[in-house]
A and B are shown apart, each in its own frame.
Chain A
Amino acid sequence: MITIKELSDDNLFTAGHTACPGCGVAMSIRNAIRVLGKDAAVYVPASCAVVFGTTFPYGAWKVPFFHTAFENTGACLTGMQAAFEKKGKQVISVGFAGDGGTYDIGLQSMSGAAERNEDVLYICLDNEAYMNTGIQRSGGTPFGAWTTTTPVGTKIQGNRRFKKNLGDIVAAHEIPYYATLSIGHPLDFIRKVEKAKNIRGFRFLHMFTPCIPGWKMDPAKTVEVTKRAVESGMWTLYEVENGEKKITYKPGKMKSVKDYLMMQGRFRHMSEEDIKKLQMWVCRKWNLHYKEKGAPQICEIAPPEEHHAVTEEHREMHGP
C-alpha cells in the first residue's frame, strides 16, 4: 500500500484554483487525484468544482477534464470508458459529483452505471446541500440543518428529513466496491482510493466534504469537523467489498452529536427536542454500524427504548 511519504507531489489538481479556504471538496479532489495518478480522465458535473477548477481561460487540472451537465456523471463516465476501451487505452475514468448530483438529480444515471457494473470510479463529494447554487437542501442534507430552502422560520426550523441512506442504495447494486471516506482520516482515505483504483468494475467512493459557507464554520476547522462527525456517528467509515461490509474505523467512546453540531452555524438554531431527535437517529445508525449481532445496544448516550421510539416515530411520520 502507498504511504503518505510515497505520494507524488506532482499535483494533478494544482494550486491557484479559486475554492474557498478550507474547502473540503478541493482537499478531497486534490488528494484523491494524487493517488489516482496521471492516467486518469475526469468528469465533473455542474458543481463548485467546475467553477473553482475550470473557469476559462484558467484550469487547475493536469489530467483530461470533461464537463457537460449536472445529472449525468454515471452516463458520461460510461461513454468515456467505452471509448478508451475501444481505442485500447488504459485510462481510469473518474467522476467527481456532489451530493445533489448524486443523491438527487444524478441518481438515475449513477444507478444505471452501477447496475451495468461499468469499469469506472464514481466519487461523491458530499457537502450535504446544493452549495454551488447557494446552499439549498438536497437528499444528503441532515436533519435540522439550515439551508436557504429549509430556513429557520417561526413555524418550521431547518430540514425536517433525515439524511438519505445513499450507501445502502449504492451497495444494493451489488457493485465490487463502495467506501466512505473523510479527509480527517488520511490513511484510511489513501488506502481506499488506492484500493478503488486497482479494482475493476463500478467503484463508488463517498467522501465527506465540509463546506465553509454552507456549514457556516471556521475555515481552519475542516479536518476537525470531519473527525467530530466520525466520533459522533454522524459519518461512519466503512467499506463494502463484493457485498461484505467492513468497518474501517471505529471510534472509541461515542461523542454527543451536540459536540459536532455546535461547531457549525447551520445547526446552531436547533431546539433541544430536535437535537434529541437527531441524537436518536445517530444512535440507531451507530448500533446498525458498530453493534455486533446478538450484542446489546451499544449507544451509550440514549437507552435502547429511545432508539426504538425514534424509529417508531419516524415510521409514523414517513411510513415504513
Chain B
Amino acid sequence: MNPETSPNSPRTHQQPKKVITGDHAVAIGAKLCRVDVVPAYPITPQTLIIEHIADFVSDGELDAKFLTMESEHSVMSAAAAASASGARVFTATSSQGLAFMHEMLYATAPLRLPVVMANASRTLGGPPGIWCEYNDSMGARDSGWLQLYVEDNQEALDMVIQCFRIAEDKRVLLPVMPCLDGFVLTHTVEPVEVPEQEEVDLFLPAYIPDITLDPARPSMIGTFMPAEYIMELRRQTAGAMESAKKAIGEINDEFARRFGRNYGGLIDTYRMEDAEIALITMGTVTSTSRDVVDELRREGRKVGLVKLRFFRPFPSEELRKVLSGVSAVGVFDRSISFQGGGQSYNEVRSALFGMTIPIINHLAGLGGRDVTREQIMKMFEITLKAAKGEKVNLVNWHNTRGETL
C-alpha cells in the first residue's frame, strides 16, 4: 500500500489483524464475500486457498457449495454454469491449471459471467517448475477477463472483495482474475487486517443477476452465434472492459473510504511527482523497488515508481499521464512473449506510442528467481543511461547466464 495515496483512515475502530499467508488471505476474502459456489481442484501454490475454503465450509463458517471437481477444465465449466444459474462463484488456480481451463476462460467472459478466480502466479512448463512467473496468466490476457497483480497479502484479501464488486458491476459484468506471486505471497505470512463481515456486507451487496438459467423466466445462454451477430458481441465485451476502468477507480475510492486502504485503482505511484525516470513494476517486486527508489532519492537521483496493478483493462491513459514528465521508462517483466521482450513492455510501448522517450525492458525473476535490490538498482541505472541518451539494450535480461542477443 502506498502511504502517499492513503487517506487518513475514516474508520472508528481498528480491524483485527491476523498473521497469515497470501493464500489464507485470499480464502478469507472469498469467505467475507459470502460466495455461493466454489468449484475446486488442487495445484501448487494455490492449493492452500481451496483447503482453507474447504475448512470454512466444513466448519460451518461459510454457507457455500464446495465442489471437488476432477480437473481445472471442469472447475471453470462448473464455475461458468453456476454463475449462469445465478450464484456468486469463486475459485482459484495456477499455471498448468490455468492453461488447462484456458478454453473455458473464453466462455465466461463473453457470456458476461462475473466469476472471480485467484491465480497463484507460477511458471507454466515446460520445463516444469512451481515458482513465480507470469507466463501462466499472460497467456489469458486476451480472454476478456480482467486481470490484476497484487503486491502483498493485505492487497490480496482486499482485492478479492473489490473484484466481486467490479465483476458484478452492471457496467462491467466480466470475470476477474487477481494474481498473487506464487510462494512469495501464497506461502509467506504477513500481518493482514481482516475486515469485519458487516462492513464487507455493506460494501458488497448480494449478487442479483438480470438473466439466469431460471425455469420461471427461461433464457438461452451460449447459443450458436453466426457471423451476422458475433462482432456486436465482441464489441460489447470490449466496451465492458473499457467501462471497467471507471468502475475500478470508483470502487477503489469507496473501498478506501470504508476500509482505509487506497490502492490507487488501475495503477499506483511512488515518488513520481518530480521524477525524471520511472520504473514500472508488477506484483511483489514493487515492494523491493520502493526501497530502491528511497535509496536512489537519498543519493539525489530523481527516480519514481509506477505499480502496474491492472493488466486488463490496461491503463494506457493513466500511464501516459503519469509518465508525461519523465525522460525514460524502465519496464519490469516477469515473463517473456518471445518476440522482443515481455508482455508488459509491449503493452507499455503501445500505450506510450507517440511519446519519444526511451522505453527499456527489464526481464527478471522468471521461473521464480529472486529479484534483488541490486538487480532493481541496475534496472534504474540502465534506464538512467537511456535517459541521458546513451545506447543501451532495449531488452535486458537481469541476473541471467549466457548472451543477450
Contacts and interface: CB of A to CB of B under 8 A. Distances in A.
Interface of A: 38-41, 43, 50-51, 54-57, 59, 61-69, 71-72, 74-80, 82-87, 89, 91, 108-109, 111-112, 115-116
Given A69-B107, A72-B77, A75-B77, A83 B87 contact: yes
Interface in B210-259: 212-215, 218-226, 229
Given A75-B74, A80-B213, A87 B81 contact: no
Interface string B65-76: 101111101110
B215 A112 contact: no
B215 A40 contact: yes
20 contacts: A41-B213, A50-B224, A55-B223, A55-B224, A56-B223, A64-B214, A65-B220, A67-B222, A68-B80, A69-B104, A71-B73, A74-B74, A75-B73, A78-B69, A79-B67, A79-B79, A82-B37, A82-B87, A83-B82, A87-B85
Nearest to A42: B213
Give the one of B64, B74, B89 with max A CB within 10 A: B74
Contacts of A77: 81
A37 to B, nearest CB: 9
B36 interface: yes
Q: Is the interface of A mostly helix, strand, loop or mixed?
A: mixed
Given A55-B226, A82-B87, A76 B220 contact: no
Given A59-B223, A76-B78, A78-B81, A87 B73 contact: no
B220 A82 contact: no
Contact of B213 (A38, A50, A55, A64): A64
A108 B223 contact: no
A89 B212 CA distance: 12
A68 B71 contact: no
Interface in B179-231: 212-215, 218-226, 229
B224 A75 contact: no
Nearest to A37: B215
Nearest to A55: B224
A64 B223 contact: no
A76 B77 contact: yes
Contacts of A116: 67-68
B222 A66 contact: yes
Contact of B215 (A38, A66, A79, A82): A38
A201 B79 CA distance: 20
Contacts of B74: 72, 74-75, 78, 108-109, 112
Q: Which 4 A-B pairs have the closest CB atoms?
A: A79-B81, A79-B78, A112-B70, A83-B85
B122 to A, nearest CB: 23
A63 B219 CA distance: 7
B38 to A, nearest CB: 9
Contacts of B159: none
Nearest to B229: A56
B71 A112 contact: yes
Given A56-B225, A76-B78, A108-B71, A61 B85 contact: no
Contacts of A68: 77, 80-81, 104, 107, 111, 222
B220 A83 contact: no
Contacts of B87: 82-83, 86-87
B65 A87 contact: no
A54 B220 contact: yes
Contacts of B89: 79
Contacts of B67: 78-79, 82, 116
A41 B85 contact: yes
Nearest to A77: B81
B229 A109 contact: no
A55 B86 CA distance: 24
Given A61-B220, A80-B81, 20 more contacts: A38-B218, A41-B85, A54-B223, A55-B224, A62-B218, A64-B214, A65-B222, A72-B73, A75-B74, A76-B77, A78-B81, A80-B85, A82-B39, A83-B36, A83-B81, A84-B85, A86-B87, A87-B86, A91-B215, A109-B77
A64 B218 contact: yes
A75 B91 CA distance: 14
A206 B78 CA distance: 23
Given A61-B220, A68-B104, A82 B65 contact: yes
A16 to B, nearest CB: 14
A71 B69 CA distance: 14
